[in-house]
C-alpha cells in the first residue's frame, strides 16, 4: 500500500525535475522559464456551486503545481438554524425538519429523532413490536436509497456515467415504495413520537419483496461495472487513505470509519429497536482508501437486503403506537365522540406532550454515520436546547488533513468516497 505524504518542493527547479524525473543539481539558480511558470503557489476555490462538491461545500485549496499543500473546507452556505428553531416548536412539530437533514434518507432521520424524544419521555421500551419492525424496514430502505445515490454520484465523479443511471433506477423504485407508505416521496415525516403516523397499506410488503429481488441483480451489475474496472480502481485504490487511528481521532462514523478497518456499528454496539433480533454482518475495509469505502457501501446494501427480508418474514400483527393518549394522538373516531380524547388531542396539538425535565443523548446508525440528538428539557412541550450530532459535519472535518499531498484531480474522488450531504452539515 502506498502512503500519502505532504509534498512541498523548495523551488521551481525541484518541481520541474520531479515532473520530468531528472535529478536536481545542488547549485545554480532555476532557469527563468521554470521560475516564471512555477514560482508561486496558487489559491483555487472549489465550490460552493461546483457539482463535484455534492452540495454547497466550498474548498479553498492551496496548490503547488498540481499538488495540494493546504485545504480549508468552508461550510455554512445552507445554514437554516434548525437547532434554534427546535426550541420554539413542540417535539412533534420538529419532525418535518429532520427530513431536511440528510435529505437522501429522511425516513432514517425521523426514526433517530423519535427514538431520542422517546428516551427523554421514558417510553422507548414500550414501543409495540410491529412499530419497531416497520421502523427498521424504513431505516434499511433509506440506507439502500442513500448508498445507491452516493455510489452513483461517486462513480460519475470518476467518469462512470452508466453506473449512475443503474443506481438511480433502483432508487426510484424505493421512492415508489416510500410514496405508497407515507404519501410523499422526498420529505416523509412518517414517524411519530411513540409510534408511526399510519400502518402499512395493503400490498406494501409485496412491493418490498419484489424490489429486493430486483435490487440484488442491479448490485451485481454495478459491481461488474466498477469493482474490476481498471479506470475506477486506478482512481480510487491507495487514494485518500485514512488509518484506523486517524479515523478514530477525527470522530468519523459510518462507512468512512468502517472502511478504515474499525468494525463499529451502532446497530451491533448499542442495539436499538429489534436489531438485536436480526442477523447481519458489519463489513469493514483493510486499507482505508477510497476503494475500501466503496466496497463497504456495496456490502452494506446487501446486508440491508438481508435485514429487510428477515423483517418481512417476522413482521408481527398488532398496534403501531404506544397506548398512551397523552403522547400519541387518539383515533379520530374517538375524538369525534368522546370528550376525554378530544381534550387530549387539543392539548397535544396546541401545547405538545409534557416531557419531564432532564437531558439525554440518543443516536442511530444512519447511512452517513452516527446521527445523534442531545435534548435538554426543562419540562413542557418544547425542548430548552436541542443539539444535532450530524455525521457529515464530523466526517468533513478530516478534509484539511486528508487532501494534503494529493493531486488536484484526486479531490473529486476523495469527496465522492466520503459521501456527505450538506443538509445536515449546515443544519
Residue 13 pLDDT level (bands cut at 50, 70, 90)? very low
Report CA-CA distances (Å) from 49 to 53, 78, 80, 218: 8, 12, 18, 31
How far, in whole angstroms, is CA 418 from its chain's centroid?
9
How far, in whole angstroms, is CA 375 from its chain's centroid?
21
pLDDT-above-70 percentage for the chain:
90
The angle, 0 to 180 degrees and rounded to 10, between the axes of the packed helices 161-182 and 204-226 is 170
Residue 30 pLDDT level (bands cut at 50, 70, 90)? very low
Q: Element (H or E) spanning 102, and its range? A: none
Residue 131 pLDDT level (bands cut at 50, 70, 90)? very high
Residue 17 pLDDT level (bands cut at 50, 70, 90)? very low
C-alpha to C-alpha distance for 118 and 53, rounded to whole angstroms? 36
Omega cis (within 30) before 100: no
Q: Which residues contact 348 (CB under 8 A, 6 or more apart)?
A: 92, 326, 327, 329
- CA nearest neighbour of 154 among 142, 164, 145: 164
Mean pLDDT of 152-178: 91
Q: Could you tell me the sign of the dihedral formed by the alpha carbons of 399, 405, 411, 414, in that order?
A: negative
C-alpha to C-alpha distance for 98 and 112, rounded to whole angstroms? 9
> And the C-alpha cell for 181?
407508505
21, pLDDT greater than 90? no
Task: Answer with the residue of higher pLDDT: 124 or 8.
Answer: 124
pLDDT (tens digit per residue) in 385-415:
999 999 999 999 999 999 998 988 888 899 9
Please tell me what DSSP assigns to residue 219: H
191, pLDDT greater than 90? yes
Q: Which residues contact 227 (CB under 8 A, 6 or more apart)?
A: 295, 298
> And the C-alpha cell for 427?
443544519
C-beta contacts of 180-185 below 8 A and 24+ residues apart: 180/204, 180/207, 181/138, 182/107
Give CA angle at 89 (180, 139), nearest 5°: 35
Residue 39 pLDDT level (bands cut at 50, 70, 90)? low
Does residue 158 sit in helix, strand or coil?
coil
32, pLDDT greater than 90? no
Q: Which residues contact 280 (CB under 8 A, 6 or more apart)?
A: 267, 303, 306, 307
Give me the phi and psi of 162, to 5 degrees please: -60, -40
Rounded to 10 degrees, what is the CA torsion of 264, 268, 273, 278?
Answer: 140
C-alpha to C-alpha distance for 56 and 77, rounded to whole angstroms? 6
The model's pTM = 0.87
Sheet (strand 67-74) strand order = 42-46, 58-64, 67-74
> And the C-alpha cell for 198?
399510519
> What is the predicted pLDDT for the residue at 47?
77
Give me the domains of the chain, ranges plus CATH numbers.
2-74 (no CATH), 82-426 (1.10.645.10)
91, pLDDT greater than 70? yes
Buried b (16+ CB within 10 A) or exposed e, 46-65: bbbebebbbbbbbbebebbb
> And the C-alpha cell for 74?
468552508
Length of the chain, please?
Answer: 427
Amino acid at each position: 500500500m502506498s502512503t500519502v505524504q505532504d509534498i512541498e518542493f523548495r523551488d521551481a527547479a525541484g518541481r520541474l525535475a520531479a515532473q520530468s524525473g531528472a535529478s536536481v543539481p545542488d547549485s545554480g539558480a532555476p532557469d527563468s522559464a521554470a521560475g516564471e511558470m512555477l514560482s508561486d503557489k496558487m489559491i483555487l476555490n472549489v465550490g460552493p456551486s461546483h457539482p463535484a462538491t455534492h452540495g454547497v461545500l466550498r474548498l479553498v485549496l492551496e496548490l503547488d503545481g498540481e499538488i495540494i499543500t493546504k485545504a480549508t473546507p468552508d461550510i455554512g452556505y445552507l445554514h437554516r438554524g434548525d437547532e434554534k428553531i427546535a426550541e420554539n416548536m413542540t417535539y412533534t412539530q420538529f419532525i418535518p425538519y429532520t427530513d431536511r437533514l440528510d435529505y437522501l434518507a429522511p425516513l432514517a432521520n425521523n426514526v433517530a429523532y423519535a427514538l431520542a424524544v422517546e428516551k427523554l419521555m421514558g417510553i422507548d421500551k414500550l414501543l409495540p413490536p410491529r412499530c419497531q419492525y416497520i421502523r427498521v424496514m424504513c431505516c434499511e430502505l433509506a440506507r439502500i436509497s442513500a448508498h445507491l445515490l452516493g455510489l452513483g454520484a461517486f462513480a460519475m465523479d470518476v467518469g462512470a456515467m452508466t453506473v449512475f443511471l443503474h443506481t438511480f433506477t433502483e432508487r426510484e423504485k424505493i421512492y415508489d415504495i416510500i410514496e405508497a407508505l407515507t404519501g410523499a416521496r422526498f420529505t416523509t415525516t412518517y414517524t411519530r413520537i411513540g409510534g408511526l403516523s399510519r400502518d402499512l397499506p395493503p400490498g406494501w410488503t409485496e412491493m418490498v419483496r419484489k424490489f429486493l429481488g430486483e435490487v440484488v441483480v442491479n448490485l451485481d451489475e454495478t459491481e461488474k461495472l466498477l469493482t474490476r474496472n481498471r479506470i475506477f480502481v486506478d482512481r480510487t485504490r491507495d487514494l485518500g487513505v485514512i488509518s484506523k487511528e486517524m479515523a478514530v481521532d477525527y470522530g468519523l462514523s459510518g462507512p468512512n470509519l468502517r472502511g478504515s478497518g474499525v468494525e463499529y456499528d451502532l446497530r451491533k454496539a448499542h442495539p436499538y429497536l429489534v436489531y438485536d433480533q436480526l442477523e447481519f454482518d458489519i463489513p469493514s475495509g483493510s486499507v482505508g482508501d477510497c476503494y475500501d469505502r466503496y466496497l463497504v457501501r456495496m456490502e452494506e446494501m446487501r446486508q440491508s437486503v438481508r435485514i429487510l427480508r428477515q423483517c418481512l418474514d417476522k413482521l408481527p400483527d398488532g398496534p403501531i403506537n404506544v397506548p398512551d393518549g397523552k403522547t400519541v394522538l387518539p383515533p379520530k373516531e374517538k375524538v369525534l365522540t368522546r370528550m376525554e380524547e378530544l381534550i387530549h388531542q387539543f392539548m397535544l396539538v396546541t401545547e405538545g406532550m409534557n416531557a419531564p425535565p432532564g437531558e439525554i443523548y440518543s443516536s442511530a446508525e444512519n447511512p452517513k454515520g452516527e446521527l445523534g440528538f442531545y435534548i435538554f428539557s426543562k419540562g413542557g412541550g418544547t425542548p430548552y436546547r436541542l443539539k444535532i450530532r450530524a455525521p457529515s459535519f464530523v466526517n468533513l472535518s478530516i478534509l484539511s488533513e486528508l487532501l494534503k499531498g494529493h493531486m488536484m484531480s484526486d479531490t473529486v474522488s476523495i469527496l465522492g468516497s466520503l459521501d456527505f450531504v450538506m443538509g445536515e452539515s449546515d443544519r
